[in-house]
Structure 1
Amino acid sequence: MRLQHRHAWDLSPAEAIALQKDLRREVMSDRPIDLDAVEVVAGVDVSVKNEQSHAAVVVMTYPGFLVIETVLARRPTPFPCIPGLLSFREGPVLEEAFESLKTVPDVFLFDGMGIAHPRRIGIASHMGLWLGRPTIGCGKTLLCGRYRDLGPEKGSAAPLIDKGETIGVALRTRTAKNPMFISPGHMADIPTAAELVLRCSPKFRLPEPIRLAHNAAGQFEP
């Protein structure tokens, strides 16, 4: 898959924050995904072990969830673990994995945040600018913002609000389980991002593409 190479990765934390503020202006977080046109989805995850980053991208049919392609990549972890700067830690190994893809998914689902991020550019938004495809952030834990009045049933959703701005939703993808925190990455909006994630979560809390990517990244041994 051909990427839009936007910048080098060897930045200091201060330089990374400044770059995020610049790139945020390019993120499109109000563009609905045409859900009727989606036929291929991808799950994206990175596992770090002993300062080695293992990336997995699992491409699946939609809505059948049959695996089309699994791409793995490994390289030394280049950046410290700093909240809000995950994309600089995981971006280089993901770049390598994306470039190996033979299939171009319609939508990428990331284990990480989209605009539900203090500077509105989590890893799904950041890498969306490289991919030039719709991306969705699917966070397992809350990074920023607050929500209230979330019902216990699967499909229940509550707006995620930060500093008066709606940045995503807390979405119950499985009854009585902790919610996922869903936000547009790039070329997506909140309603269609949440709807697609829910459709991609037939059995488990994690959307199926991310669940398989998470397993592949965690089990990957070079």
Structure 2
Amino acid sequence: MYDPTVARLTYRALLGRRRALILFVLPALLLVIAAAVRLLTGADDSTAEAVLGGFSLAVMVPIIGVVAGTGAIAPEIDDGSVVYLLAKPIKRPTIILTKLFVAIGVTMAFSAIPTLLAGFILNGNGGQLAVAYTVAALVASIAYAALFLLLGTITRHAVVFGLVYALIWEGLFASLISGARTLSVQQWALAVAEKVTGGEAVASDVALPTAVILLVAATVLATWYAGQKLRSLTVAGEE
């Protein structure tokens, strides 16, 4: 269920000049912030948690997910070039899964690695914070990539809707309304991070079993529905 040609084309599109700039800016900013905070405050667990949780997981990971997830397919649909891809003898689920794997890989690379480095810069992985938030970033990358890939198949404004969800729903409503946190990828990922630290340094409002179920369900359903939307585009192109 993986096509190297589709993967190569998707990587090329995602790592083009404009998107690559966006992908590199946030990780670089995180590392600069981490270095500055370490110099100003020294190694402090609470400060490290604030930076890793408040910027890395809450801002950087979802935005990179938006860029990678929507960028994996939305531009091809918008400019009509997806028709040429669909005309190839490649199964539609293979196209979607290949693009999802690429989007997940890019999101993980540009979010988890900088998070790990920032954690070690901030407090040398004190309290297992660097590892915990890195694991959270890896887990969140999977769900974000699937959800935003789906958005790329159903709307021309995928980036806008993705940013609304990532920054307004998760960043604002989920922080103010306790019930909204259950539908937050960030909280699901934090539940996994909480397990890594033994519940001593990281806390989530969602229980781990619930978080795992929702992570898997969101990823699978989003991927399945994206495949259905791609199939409908195939029919429209053939007609």
TM-score, L = length of structure 2 = 0.24
| Larger relative strand fraction | 1
TM-score, L = length of structure 1 = 0.25
Which structure's CA Rg is the greater one? 2
